[in-house]
Amino acid sequence: MISTTDYYDSMEYAPWLLLYAVSATMASNIGSVLQAINKTKYQFVTTVIGALVTVVISYGLISSIGIYAVIIGQVIGGITMLLTRYKLINKFVSFKINWRPILRMTILFIGTTVICLNTHFLVSFIVLILAMGIVCYINWNYVKGRLYISS
């Protein structure tokens, strides 16, 4: 439907920008802990660190890989902001995140994205069904509980 529009070419960038959006949202949520413990100056500092990483990577790679440099810079900058806030918060309070499910879902997302961007629609559809099955399996207790409540 959009294949005849100017937006079609940008479709390949959307999943990678979604990774940035997720990392920035997680960083924002973790940053709320800094507000709660009245350490908001560190929120600013970690934001500047993330921004500097974004600019350095984007500027450093733009001539060789084009717009992907900005996308890579944003993703790594967002992750940098997330991790610096997480590490900093643990200097003041005990705040633990179970990274295993986050990493699992990120790997699944990246794998699905790479396959779907580089294959035929039919393969993408099969990958979508498989990914949904994997997500349901990983979250089976939650899905089972939801199915029970709906019945």
Among 75, 96, 117, which residue terminates a domain?
96
Q: What is d(CA 90, CA 87) in angstroms, rounded to the nearest whole number?
A: 5
Per-residue pLDDT at 13: 84
More confident residue, 83 or 128: 83
Whether 85 and 48 share a structural domain: yes
**Measured on CA atoms in the order 43, 46, 51, 54, is the torsion positive or negative?**
negative
Q: Each residue of 116-126: pLDDT tens digit?
A: 888 888 888 89
List own/partner pairs for 114-120 with CB under 8 A and 24 or more apart.
Answer: 117/12, 117/15
pLDDT band of 1, cuts 50, 70, 90: low
Considering the domain architecture, whether residues 73 and 34 belong to the same structural domain is answered as yes
pLDDT of residue 48: 95
pLDDT at 57: 96
Q: What is the pTM of this model?
A: 0.78
Going by pLDDT thresholds of 50, 70 and 90, the confidence category of residue 135 is confident
Which residue did the predictor score with more confidence, 3 or 73? 73
Total domains in the chain come to 2
Residue 23: which of 105, 83, 64, 98 has the closest Cα? 83
Reported as a single tens digit per residue, the pLDDT across 6-52 is: 776 777 888 889 999 999 999 999 999 998 998 889 999 999 999 99
Integer-rounded Cα radius of gyration of the chain: 19
Tell whether 10 and 79 lie within a shared domain: yes
Domain membership of residue 30 as a residue range: 1-96
pLDDT of residue 146: 66
Of 52, 73, 96, the residue that ends a domain is 96
**pLDDT one-digit tens code per residue, 52-103:** 999 999 999 999 999 899 999 999 999 999 999 999 999 998 989 999 988 9
